[in-house]
Amino acid sequence: MKGHSAASMILVAAMCVGAQSANAQSSLFTGRVLADSGNTPLPGAEIALAALGRAQRADQRGEFRFTAVPAGEHVAQVRMPGYAPKVDTIIVADAGEVRREFRLARIEATLPEVPVTATLLDRRLYEFHERRRFGIGRFLDSAEFANTHGTRTSDRLARLPGVIILRGRFSDAYVANNRQRTLNGRLCRAAVWLDGINVGIDYNVNLLDPSMIAAVEWYAGQASIPARFNVTGRAGQCGVLVIWTR
């Protein structure tokens, strides 16, 4: 009986260890993606944990669910065509669950009237071509951007005169103006506009695959920035990078 009892205790202990091991792998990252106005779900929105090489699409209710997420800090990237992308940092505990609700703002650029036969991309690039005619700033259309070297967007943007790339964690990259510095002597980050929306100076340009980019505008000097991109405060003093996507 004693031998049988000892064997039972060993079996129970093994089961407990197995359960604990399973729990350690059961950390969850769940949530949903909605439109910024109202509670409309955005099915098909992409949620990515780039450092883990994992991504998925939101279901018809805008819901998503990642299982077996390693404990620690992770960067979540959320995007949906026609909406401004979002980036968030989550901290996952062992056998815990992190839930987030992402609300994406629709990109609504005000453009001049163009023929109804024009595509959406044509309408987005109408102003691009108009500004390029005046020659103030640096401009790359899709063919010119494709001919620049580099596997990441940041590598290609670094070819623009006056642009320097500041590296963050993982593959994060931010645009700065190598001709201007802040009061404390640091390189000055430029404001980034994505499809007509100001996404600020902390936008990670490597969230965009190079194949997504249809055109780029770069204004290094305050005086050269067009009125529609000339915002007040710090975000307008260090140059403006305008990115148009397909």
Which CATH number characterizes residue 89's domain? 2.60.40.10
Q: Are residues 126 and 223 in the same domain?
A: yes
Q: Are residues 147 and 227 in the same domain?
A: yes
pLDDT tens, residue order, the chain (246 aa): 444 555 454 444 444 444 444 444 569 999 999 998 878 999 999 999 988 889 999 999 999 999 999 999 999 999 998 889 999 999 998 888 999 999 999 886 655 555 555 677 787 788 898 889 888 899 999 899 999 988 999 999 998 999 999 998 888 999 999 877 776 778 889 999 998 888 889 999 999 999 999 999 999 888 888 888 887 554 457 899 999 988
Residue 18 lies in a domain: no
Domain boundary among 104, 131, 158: 104
3 state SS for 212-234: HEEEEEEECCHHHCCHHHCCCCH
Residue 109 lies in a domain: no
User: What are residue 236's DSSP bridge partners?
Assistant: none
Q: Are residues 92 and 182 in the same domain?
A: no
Q: What are phi and psi of 192, to 5 degrees?
A: -115, 130
Residue 9 lies in a domain: no
Residue 112 lies in a domain: no
Q: What are phi and psi of 33, to 5 degrees?
A: -120, 125
Domain boundary among 104, 133, 162: 104
Residue 1 lies in a domain: no
Q: Are residues 82 and 126 in the same domain?
A: no
Which CATH number characterizes residue 210's domain? 2.170.130.10
97 lies in which domain range? 27-104
CA–CA dist 84, 45 (Å, integer): 11
Domain count, the chain: 2
Q: Are residues 141 and 79 in the same domain?
A: no
Residue 65 lies in a domain: yes
**Which helix (H) or strand (E) segment is 200 a member of?**
strand 197-200
Q: Are residues 92 and 146 in the same domain?
A: no
Q: Are residues 241 and 187 in the same domain?
A: yes
Could you say which DSSP state residue 70 is in?
A: P
Residue from 162, 159, 156, 239 nearest 205 by CA = 156
Q: Are residues 85 and 131 in the same domain?
A: no
Q: What is the pTM of this model?
A: 0.53
CA–CA dist 139, 240 (Å, integer): 12
Edge-to-edge strand list for the sheet holding 163-167: 163-167, 173-181, 187-189
Contacts by residues 174-179 (CB-CB < 8 Å, ≥ 24 positions apart): 174/201, 174/202, 174/203, 174/204, 174/205, 175/205, 175/239, 175/241, 176/238, 177/220, 177/238, 177/239, 179/220
Q: What are phi and psi of 21, to 5 degrees?
A: -65, -40
Q: Are residues 54 and 145 in the same domain?
A: no
The label of the residue with tokens 């980019």 reads 213
